[in-house]
Chain A
Amino acid sequence: MTNKALFKKAAFYSVVVIIVLISVFPFYYAILTSLKTGSDLFKVNYFPSSFNFSNYIDVLNNGQFIRNTLNSVFIASTTVIFALFLAVTASYALARVRFKGRRLLLMAILAISMFPQIAVLAGLFELIRFIGIYNTPWAMILSYTIFTLPFTVWVLTTFMRDLPVEIEEAAIVDGATPWVIITQIFMPLLWPALVTTGLLAFIGAWNEFLFALTFTASETMRTVPVAIAMLSGSSQYETPWGLIMAASVLVTIPLVILVLIFQRKIVSGLTAGGVKG
């Protein structure tokens, strides 16, 4: 290998190392901070200096945090199941049936998923007050549908469009109705797509902040992002960084593990949602 090629290779790998370092470092530093207490917190370290789990114990012993996590789990899963349930049949109609105005409808659905959420905040607030679900998990389940439903419909439509026509035609010849085609023939083929779409919608609902902040009033009803944003110390001037980092790490680790497991599927789901090849 010539010197020039060697240099090129070294330059390339240093770029790779920089990319990885920048991506991972903030999370690594959050873990580092979460393991420190007292005056240790205010000394900058680049490598672990202490392994003190008291922040984690404090967060978990504080009943509120577990309650908030359960809120988030319940809200995100209910929203996603509801959206998937409606989206499977709707996306069949959008992907497999030709009718006037289909393109327009698809564009409208995409437009809703890219909506500025603040534009519906006032109207949603009124609706939620009217139904009487303010400060309950149902307020979030209702409002999150505004982005989970269009997203799942959109991604499932692109997936369903790629399923072979021959299978459907054979089923029609055998006299299968559209309902039978969806439930008996398409569903088994769509499982991977459903998992991916559901996971992405779940992450979206788990991370949502604006609605959760506006439609909850009491600490017990908060979702995890709101709880972390509102974590404060005993006085106004004292931010409990150790606690915040411990809570942050606790809610992020499951997501990071999920994302790493479903890495390939997530990339294909994102590209189906964004770019259609």
Chain B
Amino acid sequence: MFKKHILTTPEVSSLQRQKLRAAFWFLAPMLLVLFCVAAWPLLRSIYFSFTNTSLTNLYGGEWVGFKNYLTWKTFSSGRTIYSGTLADPAWWNAVWNTVRFAVVSVSLETIIGLMVALVLNAEFKGRGLVRAAILIPWAIPTIVSAKMWAWMFNDQFGIINDMLLSVGLIDHKIAWTANIDTAMLSVLIVDIWKTTPFMALLCLAGLQMIPRDMYESAKIDGVHPIKVFFQVTLPLVKPALMVAVIFRTLDALRMFDLVYVLTPNSKATKTMSIISRENLIEFDKFAYGSAQSTLLFAIIALFVALYIWLGKLDLSGEKS
């Protein structure tokens, strides 16, 4: 790409040419490494999804077309049986779980994050300490926070049940992580606790770029604070907020470790990543799991394309 550019524009100075040549050699090692660790494995995974490869026989797979995705067989009785991931209720359950998790967690994190950011944007004594405190959940490894909360959510000896019982909000102990009705709620609580700081800090960075005199003139004009928020603050932090939201959504759609540790084997919280790893590694349905991971990749790619197209988002940061 770079060489062609040099050849077709002979008028560029030798200095420019030297710079372009250097740029090529500076980028080449990184691109080569990224090809080996990202592009190649991705292509191989997609290829595996069209074969019947198994974990024990990685090179013995044969091409089977879309069999892992969807296939059907019509019997002489006229009955048609569908099989493959797209006809698998367990897969659709995982898709639904993931989407539900992503929508709820990202919306709540955005709202709470914005509120925390508004608090931190006010000037008060001890602001630095509060900012340090909210960084703690972010710094704790996900696995550790999952274990910490699993202990707090423990049905017999957990502090959450103890608190709620003593306040009188519940009348019996709840098995938060094991119960099918509350498993998703506990995953959401831990995720929101852990990632709201990230949201809050990104929102805070956006808020701090708003010039103070804007608020002062609004105050002089006697505009109600809530109106100021919706008509001045929100439109101005929106670009920063949108970027934070897309980052968080992508992260939520690929969620794996929290569920793996906090609510293992619960049907109510199985995500797409969990179910495809199960098939890939644990159930020896390597090709089937590859088809599921490829579908997850396709869903995320589609989401990003839609988001960029609808939001006309400038993620590369070059225009600003």
Mark A residues whose CB is within 8 Å of B: 12-13, 15-16, 19-20, 22-24, 26-27, 29-30, 33, 41-44, 46, 86-87, 89-90, 92-94, 97, 99-101, 103, 105-107, 109-112, 114-127, 129, 142-143, 145-146, 149-150, 153, 158, 172, 177-179, 203, 206-207, 209-210, 213-214, 224-226, 228-229, 241, 244-245, 248, 251-252, 255-256, 258-260, 263, 266-267, 270-271, 274-277
Picked from A29, A121, A248, A259, the residue with its CB within 8 Å of the CB of B293 is: A121
- Contact in complex: B209, A277 (CB < 8 Å): yes
Picked from A12, A210, A228, A263, the residue with its CB within 8 Å of the CB of B147 is: A228
Contact with A along B167-209 (1 / 0, CB 8 A): 0000000000000000000000000010001100110111001
A128 CB, min distance to chain B CBs, angstroms: 9
- Contact in complex: A110, B315 (CB < 8 Å): yes
Residue with the greatest number of chain B CB neighbours at <10 A, chosen from A118, A203, A252: A118
List the B side residues contacting A209 at CB < 8 Å. 142-143, 256-257, 260
- Contact in complex: B48, A122 (CB < 8 Å): yes
Question: Interface SS of chain B: helix, strand, loop or mixed?
Answer: helix
B window 156-173: CB within 8 A of A: 156-159, 162
- Contact in complex: A119, B293 (CB < 8 Å): yes
Instruction: Identify which of B32-40, B83-91, B216-224 touches chain A.
Output: B32-40
- Contact in complex: A118, B296 (CB < 8 Å): yes
List the B side residues contacting A46 at CB < 8 Å. 159
List the B side residues contacting A24 at CB < 8 Å. 133, 136
- Contact in complex: A259, B135 (CB < 8 Å): yes
B window 115-156: CB within 8 A of A: 116, 119, 122, 124, 126, 129-149, 151-152, 154, 156
- Contact in complex: A122, B193 (CB < 8 Å): no
Picked from A87, A92, A100, the residue with its CB within 8 Å of the CB of B5 is: A100
- Contact in complex: A225, B201 (CB < 8 Å): no
Picked from A19, A42, A100, A179, the residue with its CB within 8 Å of the CB of B119 is: A19
Whether B226 sits at the interface, judged by CB under 8 Å, is no
State in angstroms the CA–CA spacing of A244 and B147 once bound together.
Answer: 8
- Given A12-B124, A274-B243, residue A225 in contact with residue B318 (CB < 8 A): no
Count residues of chain B with CB under 8 A from any CB of chain A: 103
Contact with A along B276-299 (1 / 0, CB 8 A): 110011000010011001101100
Instruction: Identify which of B21-29, B70-78, B103-111, B227-235 touches chain A.
Output: B21-29
Whether B14 sits at the interface, judged by CB under 8 Å, is no
- Contact in complex: A26, B149 (CB < 8 Å): yes
- Given A116-B300, A255-B140, A275-B202, residue A23 in contact with residue B133 (CB < 8 A): yes
- Given A90-B30, A209-B143, A275-B243, residue A263 in contact with residue B132 (CB < 8 A): yes
B window 211-259: CB within 8 A of A: 239-240, 243-244, 247, 250-251, 253-254, 256-257
Q: Which 10 A-B pairs have the closest CB atoms?
A: A123-B41, A276-B317, A123-B44, A116-B254, A93-B23, A119-B297, A178-B22, A89-B26, A209-B257, A120-B41
Residue with the greatest number of chain A CB neighbours at <10 A, chosen from B2, B243, B293: B293
- Given A93-B26, A209-B260, residue A26 in contact with residue B135 (CB < 8 A): no
For B5, the closest partner residue in chain A by CB is: A100
A227 CB, min distance to chain B CBs, angstroms: 9
Picked from B38, B132, B289, B297, the residue with its CB within 8 Å of the CB of A260 is: B132
B window 85-100: CB within 8 A of A: none
Picked from B5, B45, B119, B315, the residue with its CB within 8 Å of the CB of A120 is: B45
- Contact in complex: B22, A93 (CB < 8 Å): yes
List the A side residues contacting B137 at CB < 8 Å. 23, 26-27
List the B side residues contacting A258 at CB < 8 Å. 139
- Contact in complex: B144, A116 (CB < 8 Å): no
State in angstroms the CA–CA spacing of A100 and B256 once bound together.
Answer: 37
Q: Give 13 new A-B contacts, CB below 8 A, not counting A27-B140, A44-B162, A90-B30.
A: A22-B193, A23-B133, A24-B133, A86-B29, A97-B20, A116-B273, A122-B48, A122-B289, A126-B48, A127-B40, A203-B139, A229-B260, A271-B201
List the B side residues contacting A172 at CB < 8 Å. 15
- Given A101-B1, A178-B22, residue A119 in contact with residue B139 (CB < 8 A): no
B245 CB, min distance to chain A CBs, angstroms: 10
State in angstroms the CA–CA spacing of A246 and B146 once bound together.
Answer: 14
List the A side residues contacting B273 at CB < 8 Å. 116-118, 210
A116 CB, min distance to chain B CBs, angstroms: 4
- Contact in complex: B159, A129 (CB < 8 Å): no
Whether B80 sits at the interface, judged by CB under 8 Å, is no
- Contact in complex: A277, B205 (CB < 8 Å): yes
State in angstroms the CA–CA spacing of A178 and B254 once bound together.
Answer: 39
- Contact in complex: A29, B152 (CB < 8 Å): yes
State in angstroms the CA–CA spacing of A203 and B142 once bound together.
Answer: 11
